[in-house]
């Protein structure tokens, strides 16, 4: 698109031409998110600083009948911010201020571009933190978290983003600025805040959020267990929950991931281990030791090779770093990877993980597993080389079979990464045409022109054909 | 519109004799139908379908016959909302009361909407689990009703409201189409989170027939600490100190002008702690220390039967004879605005001829205010309406809101029970118009007359 295009000059009038990108080289930075196999170039990227700016940008987009999509940090794993039909990317990097920290009311007001971890860092000296902690929290934005209803390792005990957002300011798809919810726990009427969260940027653009802050727990106990097999580790997960213990986090890595992580970062994991479990307890120190002992017992009953305890905060941070850096090591395993995100009932974990291994073998596509075991939220990392078209075809079959297995086990096809473009085709595995019709009806209320983040979430005729329906 | 005999016959065709309660002019108070009377208006018929198919048939019949439908569970919260113009059919899910799927090790359950909470809790308790919700009418309310009203009780401080426990549901739309939202697993972001739309929609968007829920292990022990003070300010200070501390109370409730199970008129604070015995002991000690430093004059720890009675009675706030006129409002505030609001409540009490009591959920910023004991049982409507308006102003002035949950019909007709909703109202109207296009369900009773 040319600089003298009326659309571009109108956008430049709002944010200043230095905050508008149109040259192809710079645009290519914005052609994908963390799911790098999906690519699409926007025509223009704008960097607004206020809700008012965004409102005007949206009105211009409507006037010119051009699609627009919000972009936070671009760490999404389902192609949510992908400008599939070109148009405007509204990048929120400059809207990154924490507007208010209200410790007495245990809440903060933030702009959407605030980095997740940045909020916790801003309040930690007061003894507080922001609970939803995606593994990408050093980079991802709160706006992106809201759009995807993101989770993280500590979702098990503390819930997902939706449980921690009280109010939203949103620029609707016609440019109107409206608030939903607020600084109090409940407001009368339909919970539009709740519907907005997880709508993957298709209902409007979040320009401000009131979020809860939690008091930092008095203490932590972090245990790391090394197991011979995935099966044993999965049994531990069910046994802990069945004992009535809800840890703050319960994470698993398989031998593939252990090896990759070990070779990249040298944490001291045995290279021949079948699985590593990280279990964290948090809360009041009194009584915690007993729970840790119960967990150690469950470890031992399941043939645990070795149990390590974080002896201090530095140790604990090390353990978490090894978990959260796992993704950084996959580059060593293959040129490309897709992270699947199915959820199954906890008791189905061993069965479904065995199935994933079979699928990997059947198609000769390596799959690594690092995931939120306590929630039954698996992340099979499907490793491949996108330059090999035969592999790509097999990868598609792998994705389909994994997600079908999750659906058949009574689960779902995404626990935290969203549908985006990546899983549209698989929606019919869990939703009937009638279920999807209600979603389409609600979408039409919020986004009647369809210009806001088009081409996402809903299966197409082609999707049904692929599924043989 | 069919006449009564015709209506009777038609509905029996669909749901059978057992599925129908007919309107009678003089209901006895113990008549099962009386709990489905809304603001003094008895329904023309109460239908209790035994299957989703029967629900579809009833809805189709109602649509064809231009009858309004009010969805219900056991009827405990039917009074919330604007007064209806007329009540044709009350459609209760109470015959859909089965547990459909329960695998204890998954810590989730799927039930039919009409199952009473108490029945479900008993089943879960056999496996050392429970649904951590303690809404009003805990003994009678159904899961469907709790979902439709997004019910909660004092324990929402630690465990949240129904919104935080629902994983998925099945809903019959007014067109008869059956749809599901969410799923059965604890994490799910596939598609839009339409659970949130139905939660707290008060029956205006569909008939909820099935709900999947996230459970909790039963705590090893539970205790309540009951603190008494001479000044409200002291109680408020203790509450905010506890809220800021490392303690993890299940509830943190302030009582003004009367606490459960006591005659004591002094301000009280009731604090719940649960979990591992050592954790609980440590918290009780910590509460005692904070209380002593802040001038508590009474400190009592309750356990066992007595603690359960106390908890139940607190959930039922305000206690009282159901026949007596009563006005219950609920203010949603920021925590730091509760103290100021409670002062307003005290001023209102001093200026009123009736009794004004308050229960504050101090960690949530929620204050329930009850007007009762009107002299001679007479409610001075205009005066009470003005008083409600004053309280609402006190809440809205600090960015909160106030909902009138229960009031005599005459009063309801003078006030807006929900209060203003602001600019999101246009969207709410559109949602109602699109999801219930024929305007069949609980019409006119929600915010702004939706
Ligand atoms: C290494 C790695 C680990 C990860 N771990 C986790 C994890 O543990 N848990 C988890 O849940 N996710 C995880 N993710 C996924 C990703 O980080 C989250 O989905 C995150 O919330 C995306 O935030 P973002 O700012 O990068 O959003 P983007 O990728 O920029 O956008 C995501 C979506 O949000 C929309 N959007 C962004 N901002 C707004 C706004 N202000 N208003 C409306 N819509 C908006 C976009 O249009 C898009 O649809 C991980 C990703 C990576 C790369």
Q: Is residue B436 part of a domain?
A: no
In this structure, the answer to whether residues B299 and B374 fall within a common structural domain is no
What is the biggest distance separating any 2 CA atoms in chain B, rounded to whole angstroms? 70
Indicate the residue of B181, B276, B424 with minimum beta-carbon distance to A192: B424
Binding site membership of A375 for ligand 1 (Cβ less than 6 Å): no
In this structure, the answer to whether residues B227 and B212 fall within a common structural domain is no
pLDDT band at A263 (very low <50, low <70, confident <90, very high): confident
Q: Do A434 and B366 touch (CB under 8 A)?
A: no
What gap in Å lies between CA B209 and CA B71, rounded to an integer?
Answer: 11
pLDDT tens per residue across span B304-325: 999 999 999 999 888 655 567 7
pLDDT band at B262 (very low <50, low <70, confident <90, very high): confident
Chain B residues with CB under 8 Å of A155 CB are 187
In this structure, the answer to whether residues B266 and B296 fall within a common structural domain is yes
In this structure, the answer to whether residues B380 and B307 fall within a common structural domain is no
Q: How many CB atoms lie under 10 A from the CB of residue A101?
A: 16
Q: What tokens does A48 get? A: 């607004």
Radius of gyration over alpha carbons of chain B, in Å? 22
In this structure, the answer to whether residues B195 and B114 fall within a common structural domain is yes
- On the question of pLDDT at B23 being above 60, the answer is no
Q: What tokens does A46 get? A: 């704008």
Which comes out higher in pLDDT, residue B272 or B74?
B272
Average pLDDT over residues B25-38: 61
Q: Do A345 and B403 touch (CB under 8 A)?
A: no
Indicate the residue of A189, A285, A441 with minimum beta-carbon distance to B421: A189
Classify residue A428 by its DSSP letter.
G
Q: Is residue B418 part of a domain?
A: no
Q: What tokens does A197 get? A: 């969260």
Indicate the residue of B247, B334, B447 with minimum beta-carbon distance to A184: B334
Average pLDDT over residues B211-221: 96
Average pLDDT over residues B229-237: 96
pLDDT tens per residue across span B376-434: 889 999 999 999 999 999 999 999 999 999 999 999 999 999 999 989 999 999 999 99
Binding site membership of A141 for ligand 1 (Cβ less than 6 Å): yes
In this structure, the answer to whether residues B186 and B170 fall within a common structural domain is yes
Element holding B356 (H helix, E strand): strand B355-361
With a CB cutoff of 8 Å and minimum separation 6, the contacts of A345 are A376, A409, A410, A411, B103, B106, B108, B184, B185
- CATH number where B291 lies: 3.30.70.2190
In this structure, the answer to whether residues B12 and B107 fall within a common structural domain is no
| Of the candidates B298, B148, B294, the residue with the CA atom closest to the CA atom of residue B210 | B148
- Pocket test of ligand 1: the residue of A39, A76, A132 to mutate, having most ligand atoms within 8 Å of its CB, is A76
Residue in chain A nearest B338 by alpha carbon = A105
Which of B315, B337, B354 lies at the terminal end of a domain, its last residue?
B315
Per-residue CA distances from A297 to A229, A292, A300, A302, B206 (Å):
17, 9, 5, 9, 48
Distance (Å) from CA A324 to ligand 1 centroid: 15
Candidates A438, A439, A459, partner chain B, best to mutate (most B CBs within 10 A)? A438
In this structure, the answer to whether residues B211 and B105 fall within a common structural domain is yes
Q: Do A195 and B187 touch (CB under 8 A)?
A: no
pLDDT tens per residue across span B267-306: 999 999 999 999 999 999 999 999 999 999 999 999 999 9
CB distance B147 to B209 below 8 Å: no
Note the residue count of chain B: 450
In this structure, the answer to whether residues B273 and B175 fall within a common structural domain is no
| Of the candidates B165, B442, B207, the residue with the CA atom closest to the CA atom of residue A159 | B165
Between the two ends of chain B, the Cα-to-Cα distance in Å is: 23
Residue matched to tokens 């039917």: B78
What gap in Å lies between CA A291 and CA B91, rounded to an integer?
Answer: 47
- Pocket test of ligand 1: the residue of A40, A47, A58, A70 to mutate, having most ligand atoms within 8 Å of its CB, is A70
Percentage of residues in chain B having pLDDT higher than 90: 84
- On the question of pLDDT at B85 being above 90, the answer is no
State the closest ligand 1 atom to the C-alpha of A70, by its place in the atom list counted from 1.
47
Q: What tokens does B171 get? A: 């809903």
A448 CB within 8 Å of a chain B CB: no
pLDDT tens per residue across span A318-329: 888 888 888 778
What gap in Å lies between CA B34 and CA B52, rounded to an integer?
Answer: 25
Q: Is residue B165 part of a domain?
A: yes
Alpha-carbon A462 to chain mean position: 26
Which of B217, B241, B261 lies at the terminal end of a domain, its last residue?
B217
- CATH number where B405 lies: 3.30.70.2740
pLDDT band at A3 (very low <50, low <70, confident <90, very high): low
A159 CB within 8 Å of a chain B CB: yes
Q: Is residue B395 part of a domain?
A: yes
- CATH number where B32 lies: 3.30.43.10
Q: Do B278 and A377 touch (CB under 8 A)?
A: no
Radius of gyration over alpha carbons of chain A, in Å? 22
Q: What tokens does B113 get? A: 């909407």
Between positions 342 and 381 of A, the ones with CB within 8 A of B are 343-347, 372, 375-377
pLDDT tens per residue across span A95-118: 999 999 999 999 999 999 999 999
User: What is the domain extent for residue B384?
Assistant: 327-412
* Domains present along chain A, CATH in parentheses: 6-91 (3.30.43.10), 98-215 (3.30.465.10), 219-328 (3.30.70.2190), 334-466 (3.30.70.2740)
- ipTM metric: 0.96
| Of the candidates A124, A20, A79, the residue with the CA atom closest to the CA atom of residue A424 | A79
Q: Is residue B388 part of a domain?
A: yes
What gap in Å lies between CA A140 and CA B374, rounded to an integer?
Answer: 57
Distance (Å) from CA A418 to ligand 1 centroid: 9
Chain B residues with CB under 8 Å of A105 CB are 334-336, 365
In this structure, the answer to whether residues B65 and B117 fall within a common structural domain is no
Paired with B256 in beta bridges are B358
Q: Do A286 and B278 touch (CB under 8 A)?
A: yes
Lowest average pLDDT, out of A205-209, B279-283, B372-376, goes to: B372-376
Q: Is residue B417 part of a domain?
A: no
A:B CB pairs within 8 Å: 243
- pLDDT value at position B449? 94
pLDDT band at B31 (very low <50, low <70, confident <90, very high): low
Which of B181, B197, B217 lies at the terminal end of a domain, its last residue?
B217
What gap in Å lies between CA B395 and CA A422, rounded to an integer?
Answer: 46
For A242-252, letters b (16+ CB in 10 Å) and e give bbbbbbbbbbb
| Of the candidates B292, B310, B315, B303, the residue with the CA atom closest to the CA atom of residue B241 | B292
Average pLDDT over residues B338-362: 95
Average pLDDT over residues A160-169: 98
Between positions 230 and 289 of A, the ones with CB within 8 A of B are 238, 241-246, 283-288
- pLDDT value at position B25? 45
Structural domains counted in chain B = 4
Between positions 80 and 119 of B, the ones with CB within 8 A of A are 103-108
In this structure, the answer to whether residues B180 and B266 fall within a common structural domain is no
Binding site membership of A71 for ligand 1 (Cβ less than 6 Å): yes
pLDDT tens per residue across span A123-151: 999 999 999 999 999 999 999 999 999 99
In this structure, the answer to whether residues B356 and B296 fall within a common structural domain is no
CB distance B307 to B224 below 8 Å: yes
What gap in Å lies between CA A2 and CA A385, rounded to an integer?
Answer: 35
Average pLDDT over residues A191-200: 98
Between positions 24 and 63 of B, the ones with CB within 8 A of A are none
Average pLDDT over residues B166-172: 98
Residue matched to tokens 């002008």: B257
With a CB cutoff of 8 Å and minimum separation 6, the contacts of A358 are none
Q: Is residue B432 part of a domain?
A: no
What gap in Å lies between CA A412 and CA A404, rounded to an integer?
Answer: 9
Element holding A89 (H helix, E strand): strand A88-91
Three-state SS annotation for chain A: CCCCCHHHHHHHHHHCHHHEECCHHHHHHHCCCCCCCCCCCCCEEECCCCHHHHHHHHHHHHHHCCCEEEECCCCCCCCCCCCCCCCEEEECCCCCCEEEEECCCCEEEECCCCEHHHHHHHHHHHCEECCCCCCCCCCCEHHHHHHHCCCCCCHHHHCCHHHHEEEEEEECCCCCEEEEECCCCCCCCCCHHHHHCCCCCCCCEEEEEEEECEECCCEEEEEEEEECCHHHHHHHHHHHHHCCCCCCEEEEEEHHHHHHHHHHHCCCCCCCCCEEEEEEEEECCCCHHHHHHHHHHHHHHCCCCEEEECCCHHHHHHHHHHHHCHHHHHHHCCCEEEECECECCHHHHHHHHHHHHHHHHHHCCCEEEEEEHHHCECCEEEEECCCCHHHHHHHHHHHHHHHHHHHHCCCECECCCCCCCCCHHHHHHCCCHHHHHHHHHHHHHHCCCCCECCCCCCCCHHHHHHCCC
- pLDDT value at position B29? 47
Distance (Å) from CA B296 to ligand 1 centroid: 49
| Of the candidates A234, A263, A212, A184, the residue with the CA atom closest to the CA atom of residue A372 | A234
Residue matched to tokens 């957002």: A165
Candidates A188, A210, A298, partner chain B, best to mutate (most B CBs within 10 A)? A188
- CATH number where B160 lies: 3.30.465.10
pLDDT, chain A, mean:
95
Per-residue CA distances from B95 to B113, B122, B144 (Å):
9, 18, 12
Q: Do A189 and B244 touch (CB under 8 A)?
A: no
- pLDDT value at position A264? 83
Distance (Å) from CA A113 to ligand 1 centroid: 11
Q: Is residue B76 part of a domain?
A: yes
Burial of A368 (0-12, 13-18, 19+ CB in 10 A): buried
pLDDT, chain B, mean:
93
| Of the candidates B150, B326, B359, the residue with the CA atom closest to the CA atom of residue A187 | B150
């Amino acid at each position: 698109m040319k600089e003298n295009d009326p659309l571009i000059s109108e956008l430049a009038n709002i944010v200043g031409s230095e905050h508008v990108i149109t040259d192809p080289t710079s645009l290519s930075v914005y052609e994908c998110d963390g799911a790098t196999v999906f690519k699409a170039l926007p025509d223009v990227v704008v960097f607004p600083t206020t809700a008012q700016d965004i409102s005007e940008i949206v009105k211009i987009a409507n006037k010119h009948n051009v699609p627009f999509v919000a972009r936070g940090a671009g760490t999404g794993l389902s192609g949510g911010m992908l400008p599939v039909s070109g148009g405007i990317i509204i990048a929120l990097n400059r809207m990154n201020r924490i507007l208010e920290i209200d410790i007495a009311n245990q809440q903060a007001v933030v702009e959407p571009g605030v980095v997740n971890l940045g909020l916790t860092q801003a309040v930690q000296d007061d003894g507080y933190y922001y609970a939803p902690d995606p593994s990408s929290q050093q980079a991802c934005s709160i706006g992106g978290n809201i759009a995807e209803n993101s989770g993280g390792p500590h979702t098990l005990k503390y819930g997902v983003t939706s449980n921690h957002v009280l109010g939203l300011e949103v620029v609707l798809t016609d440019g109107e600025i409206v608030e939903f919810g607020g600084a109090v726990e409940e407001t009368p009427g339909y919970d539009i805040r709740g519907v907005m969260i997880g709508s993957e940027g298709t209902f409007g653009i979040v320009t401000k959020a009131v979020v809860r802050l939690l008091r930092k727990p008095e203490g932590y106990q972090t245990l790391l267990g090394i197991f011979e097999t995935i099966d044993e580790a999965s049994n531990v997960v069910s046994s802990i929950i069945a004992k009535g213990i809800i840890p703050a986090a319960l994470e698993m890595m398989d031998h593939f991931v252990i090896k990759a992580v070990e070779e990249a970062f040298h944490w001291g994991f045995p290279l021949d281990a079948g699985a590593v479990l990280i279990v964290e307890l948090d809360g009041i120190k009194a009584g915690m030791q007993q729970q840790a002992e119960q967990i150690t017992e469950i470890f031992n009953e399941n043939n645990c090779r070795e149990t390590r305890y974080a002896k201090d905060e530095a140790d604990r941070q090390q353990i978490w770093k090894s978990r959260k850096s796992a993704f950084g090591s996959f580059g060593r395993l293959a040129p490309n990877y897709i992270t699947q995100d199915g959820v199954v009932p906890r008791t189905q974990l061993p069965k479904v993980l065995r199935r994933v291994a079979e699928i990997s073998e059947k198609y000769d596509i390596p799959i690594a597993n690092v995931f939120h075991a306590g929630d039954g939220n698996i992340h099979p990392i499907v490793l491949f080389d996108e330059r090999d078209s035969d592999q790509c075809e097999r990868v598609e079959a792998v994705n389909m079979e994994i997600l079908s297995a999750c659906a058949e086990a009574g689960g779902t096809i995404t626990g935290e990464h969203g549908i985006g473009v990546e899983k549209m085709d698989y929606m019919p595995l869990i939703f009937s045409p009638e279920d999807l019709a209600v979603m389409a009806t609600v979408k039409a209320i919020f986004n009647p022109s369809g210009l806001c983040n088009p081409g996402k979430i809903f299966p197409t005729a082609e999707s049904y054909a692929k599924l043989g329906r | 519109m069919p006449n009564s005999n015709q209506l009777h016959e038609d509905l029996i065709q669909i749901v059978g004799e057992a599925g129908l309660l007919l309107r009678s002019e003089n209901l006895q108070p113990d008549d099962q139908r009386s709990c489905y009377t809304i603001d003094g208006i008895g329904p023309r018929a109460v239908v209790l379908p035994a299957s989703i198919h029967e629900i579809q048939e009833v809805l189709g019949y109602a649509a064809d016959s231009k009858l309004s439908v009010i969805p219900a569970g056991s009827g405990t919260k039917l009074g919330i909302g604007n007064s209806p113009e007329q009540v044709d059919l009350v459609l209760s899910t109470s015959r859909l009361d089965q547990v459909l799927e329960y695998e204890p090790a998954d810590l989730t359950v799927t039930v039919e909407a009409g199952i009473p909470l108490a029945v479900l809790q008993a089943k879960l308790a056999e496996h050392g689990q429970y649904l951590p919700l303690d809404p009003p009418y805990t003994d009678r309310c159904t899961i469907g009703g709790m979902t439709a009203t997004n019910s909660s009780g004092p324990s929402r401080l630690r465990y949240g409201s129904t919104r935080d426990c629902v994983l998925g549901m099945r809903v019959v739309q007014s067109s008869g189409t059956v749809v599901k939202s969410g799923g059965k697993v604890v994490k799910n972001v596939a598609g839009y989170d339409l659970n949130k739309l139905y939660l707290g929609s008060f029956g205006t968007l569909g008939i909820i027939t099935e709900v999947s829920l996230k459970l909790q292990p039963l705590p090893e022990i539970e205790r309540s600490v009951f603190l008494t003070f001479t000044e409200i300010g002291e109680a408020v200070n203790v509450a905010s100190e506890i809220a800021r501390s490392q303690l993890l109370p299940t509830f943190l409730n302030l009582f003004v002008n009367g606490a459960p199970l006591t005659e004591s008129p002094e301000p009280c604070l009731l604090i719940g702690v649960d979990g591992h015995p050592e954790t609980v002991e440590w918290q009780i000690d910590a509460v005692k220390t904070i209380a002593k430093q802040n001038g508590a004059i009474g400190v009592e720890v309750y356990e066992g039967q007595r603690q359960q009675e106390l908890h139940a009675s607190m959930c039922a706030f305000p206690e009282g004879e159901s026949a007596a006129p009563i006005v219950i409002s609920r203010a949603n505030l920021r925590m730091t605005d509760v103290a100021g609001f409670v002062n307003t409540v005290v001023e209102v009490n001093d200026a009123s001829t009736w009794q004004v009591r308050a229960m504050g959920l101090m960690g949530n910023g929620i204050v329930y205010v009850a007007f009762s004991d009107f002299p001679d049982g007479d409610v001075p409507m205009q005066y009470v309406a003005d008083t409600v308006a004053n309280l609402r102003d006190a809440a809205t002035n600090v960015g909160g809101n106030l909902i009138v949950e229960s009031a005599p019909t005459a009063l309801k007709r003078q006030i807006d029970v929900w209060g203003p909703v602001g600019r999101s109202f246009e969207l709410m109207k559109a949602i109602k118009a699109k999801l219930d296009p024929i305007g069949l369900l609980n019409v006119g009773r929600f915010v702004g007359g939706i």
